[in-house]
Amino acid sequence: MELKNDLFLKAAKGEQVSRVPVWMMRQAGRILPEYRKVREQAGSFIKLATTPEMAAEVTIQPVDILGVDAAIIFSDILVVPEAMGLPYEMLEAKGPNFPKTIHTQADIDALVVPDPEDQLSYVLQALDIVKKDLAGRVPLIGFAGAPFTIFCYMVEGKGSKTFSLAKKMLYSEPTLAHQLLQKITDTTIAYLKAQLAHGADLVQIFDSWAGILSPDQYSEFSSPYISQICDAITTHPVTVFAKGAYFAREEIGKMNCEVVGLDWNMNIAESRKLIPNKTLQGNMDPCVLYASFSEIEKHTVAMLDAFGKQRYIANLGHGVYPDTDPEKVKCFIETVKAY
């Protein structure tokens, strides 16, 4: 199926575009009343994520309602640990929780490297439906967590400001940590390849907790595993988004990926210098969307001026916050499109 709007993919591949493409991390979610309705029907986040028809419906909502230039498959990075043998629950107002966590060699040995067509078939079915229903309107983004970020949840068992339990393993049991990271990496490569086989046009790797590592630890425990994934995916473009890893921009810029995501702590001009010859994505502070319409326009235009029109995909510097007014989101998207 030929794409009617291929701005996002063209920009990702470094081709000339007639205008800057735009989408938002977490665009499929609680900002939209239409999402909350389907979420209520499903009864729980996990039920929604594991029911392909419903997941497909909320994936397409932001394309129809917000007018973004790409869809991102509705799922979660935590489906990977689940498929490896660590089920999770999503606690209301608290976030993810893993009743069982990883601490010993025996724990790691008990994990499987699953066949995605088997344990993750519900995500692949959702991709099939979205691809068909989008009918080429916009490209479809697949995703997974970076191995280090998934490691954080598998060891810590829940969200944390410091992830000190997970980091403890890096310092006290580095050999075990590397074994676990490799198992996650093997799973992630097979999973992302399956998403691409089921119609994803690009895959994004979310290293949401990169910023808790020192530069040396990042080079030892995170970047080599992301590099393995980038090297294994040769058929489609890849985006690496390492939140908080301003110190690793040069290193990430050398990876075999086409796009690098930036958060709002990262200076745009400096990032262009540190990451030459790649497309950049980002990076407005999601809190700008709490401001007035005129402030939002001002900040969006300033961001566009700083990035330039080519080799650039407009986005926020992290996921949109759930209490953001969808009209403010539309203002951001329309300002990019009119630029």
Ligand X SMILES: Cc1c2[nH]c(c1CCC(=O)O)Cc1[nH]c(c(CCC(=O)O)c1C)Cc1[nH]c(c(CCC(=O)O)c1C)Cc1[nH]c(c(C)c1CCC(=O)O)C2
* 153 marked as binding residue: yes
Which CB atom, from 66 or from 296, has the smaller least distance to ligand X?
Answer: 66
The answer on whether 28 is annotated among ligand-binding residues is: yes
The three-state (H, E, C) secondary structure of 69-81, written as one string:
CCEECCCCCCHHH
For helices 52-66 and 326-338, the axis angle rounded to 10 degrees is 60
68 token code pair = 């973004």
For ligand X, the closer of residues 208 and 279 by Cβ is: 208
Is 268:248 a contact under the CB 8 Å cutoff?
Answer: no
Q: Is 229 left (phi over 0), alpha (psi -120 to 50) or beta?
A: alpha
Is residue 26 part of an annotated ligand binding site? Answer: yes
Residue 231 known to bind ligand: no
Q: From the CB of 29, what's the least distance to ligand X, in Å? A: 3
Q: Which of 243, 150, 131 is nearest to 189 (CA)?
A: 150
Minimum distance of ligand X from residue 49's CB (angstroms) = 7
Residue with tokens 């980002």: 282
Q: Which residues are known to be catalytic?
A: 26, 30, 39, 76, 153
List of residues contacting ligand X (CB under 6 A): 25-30, 39, 45, 72, 74, 76-78, 90, 95-96, 143, 159, 206, 208, 243, 319
User: Whose Cβ is closer to ligand X: residue 316's or residue 331's?
Assistant: 316
Asked if residue 27 belongs to a known ligand binding site, the reply is: yes
Minimum distance, C-beta of residue 161 to ligand X, in the bound complex (Å):
12
Closest by alpha carbon to 12, among 222, 233, 185? 233
Minimum CB distance to ligand X smaller for 14 or for 67: 67
The C-alpha atoms of residue 133 and residue 115 are separated, in whole angstroms, by 26
Is residue 179 part of an annotated ligand binding site?
no
Report in angstroms how near the CB of residue 46 gets to ligand X at its nearest. 9
Read off φ and ψ for residue 328, nearest 5 degrees.
-70, -35
| Tokens linked to 252 | 């990430």
| Residue linked to tokens 């629950």 | 89
Q: What's the CA gap between 2 and 280, in Å, rounded?
A: 25
Smallest separation (angstroms) from ligand X to the CB of 271: 19
Closest to ligand X by CB, 54 vs 176, is: 54
**Which residues belong to the annotated binding site for substrate?**
26-30, 76, 153, 208, 318
**Which residues belong to the annotated binding site?**
26-30, 76, 153, 208, 318
